[in-house]
Amino acid sequence: MISVEKLVGLTQSYNPRSDEKLIRHAFDYAKKMHKGQLRRSGEPYFMHPYAVAMQLAEQHMDDSTVITALLHDTIEDTKSTFSDIKSQFNDEIAELVDGVTKLTNLELGSVESEQAENFRKLLLAMSKDLRVLLVKLADRLHNMRTIKHMDSEKQIKKARETMDIYAPLAGRMGMQFIREELEDLSFRVLNSEARSSIMRRFLTLRSQSGDVITKIADDIRTALGSYKIEGDVTGREKKPYSIWRKMEEKQEGFSRLSDIYGFRIITRDEVDCYRALGAIHQRWKAVPGRFKDYISQPKSNGYRSIHTSVSGRDGKIVEVQIRTKEMHEVAETGVAAHWSYREGQRSENKFAVDPFIWISEITESFNNSEDQEEFLEHVKLEMFADQVFCFTPKGDVVKLPRGATPLDFAYNIHTRIGDGCVGATVDGKRVPLWTRLRNGQSVEIITAKGQKPQAAWKDVAVTGRAKAAIRRSLKTENRDNFLRLGKEFARVAFENVGKRVTNKALSTSAKLFGLKTADDVLVALGSAELTGAKIIEALYPEILRKKSIDEIEPSKAIIGLMSDQNAQRSSCCEPLPGERIVGILTKGRGVMIHTIDCNRLANYDQMQDRWVDLHWSEGTHQALNEVLIKITIGNDAGVLGRICTLIGEQNSNISDMRFEEKKPDFYRIAIMIEVRDVQHLHNVVTSLSADTDVAEVVRYRELAE
């Protein structure tokens, strides 16, 4: 149930000096802005921002973060603007809401070149104020909890994005409880059968063994008591996704998987952590290779704990984590500890690591990276991997992700060392380059003049830095061959759709794929990083488009109208399906539809009762909408005919045409075309822009003049 009293009561429970008046104002403002909007479940949309705010209040976050959660969809989904938020609240909250809006608009699950660029934007938003990410994670968590109301295709897309991006981000920020729940909710969507199977196995185990967790926890308490060690002991079954991941990694069935139970000991101080470890190892046999001391060697996100696995009651392998209360707070809440309150004061934790340091390191090291794939791989490895710490012969520490090889070690020191690597010694012994490094090992790289990276190294290296350096070297060496192959691949691909390969077409596709030049496109084709089909699809999508069976009738194209209301597009901004819109009630003309950024809307600022919240239906629209485009073309024979043909190939009709300017070397033409939606318009413009004799294509709207 939505209740401002409950939210205010919660914030004041941990921060008595909380600004009750401002929180109430944010609650009322957001509720008003979202009035009439519904979620797919049928419940009021405001239920979502309220739930996000409650989640953050439960983490004892500061007022600004809780208020941002209430307002986080107002700029995106209502007529509220950045200026409105700034005037109603303050600069800090306005910047936070704007930051969350920008994160929401990033398509993080797109193709790799776009994904890398959006990752840069995400890191930039995070580096300004990390609370933006905290709100976004809470937003994603609530959306995943209610994902069953989406259609199956969107569920899969959101679940993959959550598993690939948001869950590891939460983990990298030290917010383990959010990471685990995001992973499990995504797992439920992506592999529901596997998750159900694991849950059934758990039920069978419980019926056969009884309450094993309680019994083992009691055994641990007895072991600690024998050494007079005070500590809270808790146990649990590991999450289904964690179990599934271990099964996949070890290629074992559930019945052969041993460590499905995890236990935690919270002690008074660090000394008792090590005493507790001794008590556990005295009582049970330790499992070789399963001991990790993250207290003496913390993870880079501040995580501190001792991990060990032992053969416990009835021979069951159990994992035991040992840490102090302060360490546990960092382990559970991570970055949120920087803004959380306790008894009215900002809490301080000596074990918390400033997450801005990690973000700064990534953005500084890779902000100028020209290799999108290198950037993306590095960021993902930074988020996913535990680290190993190895030493140079001089004793310098080199941090690498788990699974790294001597080749990664070499490239971490310097690209020149990596390129010239011919071998390595680990702890004084010669080892193959594919050897997986472990914590504390000393590594020496052997180099030789004239050595160059080998193609097989791409499969040996793990880090993005090493892989990218190897690819660059191989690409430079093979560029001429790739260029020659790429030209042939491009010729065949274009001829298949009746087109001719031109430098302009290739240059246009270079922009679409985040490449620099037409030659880069050909090299990517020749090296199989791009396919001819993808280039044709990007330049001429309508040629490949099949008739959709899910077309929307014109009468159902707009959602938000009353049954007796008619709507028509405003001529000032000519809104298209796919653009954000708003309706204005008019006398005798029904509801006029405007784009959300139309200049004419300023005339209705003081007439809020005439505003109607509208949005387009999702899917393919049947109705065609007229849009005016202005094209500058070369004054040569056959150019105008070719332009008309290109428009027709994109399944668009020309309803009017006029020459606006005629010069000896170029024409400027205004053409009225019919398109279904904003994506259809984009397809037409892209196709025209790829033509050699087209200098410029722009959409004309009255508001732009």
The CATH superfamily of 625-704 is ACT domain (3.30.70.260)
Q: How far apart are the first and last CA of the chain?
A: 48
Look over the chain and give the mean of its residue pLDDT values, rounded to a whole number: 82
How far is 585 from 614, CA to CA, in rounded Å?
12
pLDDT range class, residue 376, cuts 50, 70, 90:
low
- When comparing pLDDT for 33 and 458, which is higher? 33
In degrees and rounded to multiples of 5, residue 533 shows phi and psi of -60, -40
Q: Are 367 and 155 in contact (CB under 8 A)?
A: no
- Write down the pLDDT at residue 349: 60
- Write down the pLDDT at residue 549: 40
Same fold, 4-186 and 193-346: no
Between helices 47-58 and 63-71, what is the axis angle to 10°? 160
- When comparing pLDDT for 691 and 267, which is higher? 267
* pLDDT higher than 60, residue 683: yes
- Write down the pLDDT at residue 547: 41
From the list 76, 180, 293, 693, the catalytic residue is 76
Q: Can you read off the two tokens belonging to residue 78? A: 């209502």
Whether the CA torsion 181, 183, 184, 188 is positive or negative: it is positive
* pLDDT higher than 90, residue 22: yes
Residue 704, number of CB atoms within 10 A of its CB:
10
pLDDT range class, residue 124, cuts 50, 70, 90:
low
* pLDDT higher than 60, residue 362: no
- What average pLDDT score do residues 13-29 get? 92
Q: Which of 406, 377, 388, 368 is nearest to 464 (CA)?
A: 377
From the list 19, 62, 63, 77, the catalytic residue is 77
- % of the chain residues with pLDDT over 70: 83
Q: Are 433 and 407 in contact (CB under 8 A)?
A: yes
* pLDDT higher than 90, residue 182: yes
- Write down the pLDDT at residue 368: 46
* pLDDT higher than 80, residue 141: yes
- Write down the pLDDT at residue 704: 40
- What average pLDDT score do residues 585-595 get? 84
pLDDT digits (tens, 9 = 90+) for 621-675: 667 888 999 999 888 877 888 888 888 888 888 877 888 887 777 888 888 888 8
- Write down the pLDDT at residue 467: 85
- Write down the pLDDT at residue 419: 92
The percent of the chain in helix, strand and coil, each rounded to the nearest 5, is 50, 20, 30
Q: Which of 700, 697, 688 is nearest to 652 (CA)?
A: 688
Residue ranges per domain, the chain? 4-186, 193-346, 385-455, 471-539, 558-616, 625-704
CA distances from 99 to 119, 130, 230, 338, 670 (A): 14, 10, 45, 19, 38
pTM, two decimals, is 0.56
Tell me the one-letter amino acid at 422.
Answer: V
* pLDDT higher than 50, residue 548: no
pLDDT digits (tens, 9 = 90+) for 569-579: 888 888 988 88
pLDDT range class, residue 71, cuts 50, 70, 90:
very high
- What average pLDDT score do residues 227-239 get? 90
What DSSP designation does 619 have?
S
pLDDT range class, residue 383, cuts 50, 70, 90:
low
- % of the chain residues with pLDDT over 90: 25
* pLDDT higher than 60, residue 379: no
pLDDT range class, residue 267, cuts 50, 70, 90:
very high
Q: In the annotation, is 76 catalytic?
A: yes
How far is 640 from 233, CA to CA, in rounded Å?
79
Between helices 518-526 and 464-496, what is the axis angle to 10°? 100
Residue 546, number of CB atoms within 10 A of its CB:
5
**Mean pLDDT: which of 121-130, 136-145, 568-577, 693-702 is highest?**
136-145
- When comparing pLDDT for 107 and 155, which is higher? 155
Is 4-186 CATH 1.10.8.50? Answer: no
Tell me the one-letter amino acid at 610.
Answer: R
- Write down the pLDDT at residue 385: 52
Is 385-455 CATH 3.10.20.30? Answer: yes
pLDDT range class, residue 378, cuts 50, 70, 90:
low
In CATH, what is the architecture of 193-346?
A: 2-Layer Sandwich (3.30)
- What average pLDDT score do residues 508-513 get? 88
